[in-house]
């Protein structure tokens, strides 16, 4: 029974990832670029080094991500108001709309995924997931 649950969990993870990538691709985004946008949406303008540290990627990686987002109109690089040597990565109107659309998309996907599941079963499922996540974090 354990292996069956594990296999279904893997299948769910794959299907969720594919759905997320499909939705992001429709907006011209990758998962990595979307992560940058979500971070900026939650925290506001940040320096690239702050983004790199938060997302645990290299400076070179974040430069490529920000370059791509800037070229497609999701972010701009603005002068830092207190440090003229620094720049801030800032969401544009398109970037802000994309962050909002991603949040709406997550809510829609969650509603579709859990449709028909009684509130008590959803609560139990969430509690079980907390146990599973705890097990993985300890490993």
pLDDT of residue 83: 83
Tokens of 127: 């509690």
Averaged over 120-126, what is the pLDDT?
A: 95
| Residue partners of 75: CB distance under 8 A and separation at least 6 | 36, 37, 40, 66, 69, 89, 90, 91, 92, 95
pTM score of the predicted model? 0.84
Q: Residue 41 class from Cβ within 10 Å (0-12 exposed, 13-18 middle, 19+ buried)?
A: middle
Range of the domain at 57: 2-138
What is the three-class DSSP state of 139?
Answer: coil
Q: Max Cα separation, the chain?
A: 60
CATH number at residue 39: 1.10.10.10
pLDDT at 12 over 90: yes
pLDDT at 115 over 90: yes
How high is the mean pLDDT of the chain?
A: 93
Total tally of structural domains belonging to the chain: 1
The helices-and-strands tally (H runs, E runs) of the chain is 6, 2
């Amino acid at each position: 029974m354990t292996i069956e649950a594990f296999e279904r969990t893997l299948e769910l993870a794959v299907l969720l990832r594919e759905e997320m990538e499909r939705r992001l691709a429709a907006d011209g985004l990758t998962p990595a670029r979307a992560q940058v946008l979500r971070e900026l949406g939650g925290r506001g303008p940040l320096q690239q080094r702050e983004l790199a540290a938060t997302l645990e990627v290299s400076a070179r990686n974040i430069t490529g991500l920000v370059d791509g987002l800037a070229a497609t109109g999701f972010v701009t690089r603005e002068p830092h108001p207190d440090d003229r040597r620094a720049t801030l990565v800032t969401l544009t109107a398109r970037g802000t709309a994309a962050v909002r659309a991603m949040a709406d998309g997550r809510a829609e996907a969650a509603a579709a995924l859990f449709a028909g599941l009684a509130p008590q079963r959803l609560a139990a499922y969430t509690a079980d997931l907390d146990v599973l996540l705890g097990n993985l974090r300890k490993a």
